[in-house]
Amino acid sequence: MQDQINTIMDETLAAIADSGDLKGLDDIRVAALGKKGAVTGLMKQLGGLDPDARREVGQELNRVKDAVQSAIDARKEELERAELNLRLEVERVDVSLPPRPEALGSVHPVSQVMDEIIAIFCEMGFAVAEGPDIEDDWLNFGALNIPDEHPARQEHDTFYLPASGEEGRPVLRTHTSPVQIRHMLSHQPPLRIIAPGRTYRSDSDMTHTPMFHQVEGLVIDETTHMGHLKGCLRDFVEAFFQVDNVPMRFRPSYFPFTAPSMEIDIGCSFEGGELKIGEGDDWLEILGSGMVHPNVLRHGGIDPDKYQGFAFGMGIDRVAMLKYGIPDLRSFFDADLRWLRHYGFRPLDVPTLYGGLAR
- Chain residues in the site for ligand PHE (CB under 6 A): 175, 177, 255, 258, 288-290, 311-313
Q: List Cβ neighbours of 196 (8 Å cut-off, separation of 6 or more).
A: 114, 117, 118, 128, 176, 213, 214, 215, 216, 316
Query: Is 12 or 289 the residue whose CB approaches ligand PHE more closely?
Result: 289
Distance in Å, CB of 177 to ligand PHE, minimum: 4
Distance in Å, CB of 112 to ligand PHE, minimum: 22
Rounded Cα distance, 341 and 155, in Å: 36
Contact in structure between 183 and 296 (CB atoms under 8 Å): no
Query: Is 75 or 153 the residue whose CB approaches ligand PHE more closely?
Result: 153
Query: Is 155 or 222 the residue whose CB approaches ligand PHE more closely?
Result: 155
Distance in Å, CB of 217 to ligand PHE, minimum: 7
SS3 state at 140: helix
Query: Is 12 or 214 the residue whose CB approaches ligand PHE more closely?
Result: 214
Phi-psi domain of 217 (left: phi exceeds 0; alpha: psi -120 through 50; beta: other): beta
Query: Is 241 or 310 the residue whose CB approaches ligand PHE more closely?
Result: 310
Distance in Å, CB of 313 to ligand PHE, minimum: 3
Distance in Å, CB of 312 to ligand PHE, minimum: 5
Rounded Cα distance, 77 and 172, in Å: 50
Q: List Cβ neighbours of 159 (8 Å cut-off, separation of 6 or more).
A: 171, 172, 200, 201, 202, 210
Query: Is 257 or 332 the residue whose CB approaches ligand PHE more closely?
Result: 257
Rounded Cα distance, 187 and 203, in Å: 34
Distance in Å, CB of 250 to ligand PHE, minimum: 12
The conformation of residue 340, written as its DSSP 8-state character, comes to H
Query: Is 213 or 323 the residue whose CB approaches ligand PHE more closely?
Result: 213
Distance in Å, CB of 253 to ligand PHE, minimum: 8
Closest by Cα among 20, 11, 18, 16 to 39: 11
SS3 state at 317: helix
Distance in Å, CB of 135 to ligand PHE, minimum: 12
The conformation of residue 114, written as its DSSP 8-state character, comes to H
Q: List Cβ neighbours of 86 (8 Å cut-off, separation of 6 or more).
A: none
Strand pairing category for 191-200 and 127-128 = parallel
Which residue's Cβ has the minimum distance to ligand PHE? Answer: 313
Query: Is 126 or 255 the residue whose CB approaches ligand PHE more closely?
Result: 255
Contact in structure between 320 and 108 (CB atoms under 8 Å): no
Give the CA count within 13 Å in the CB-facing half-sphere of 47. 4
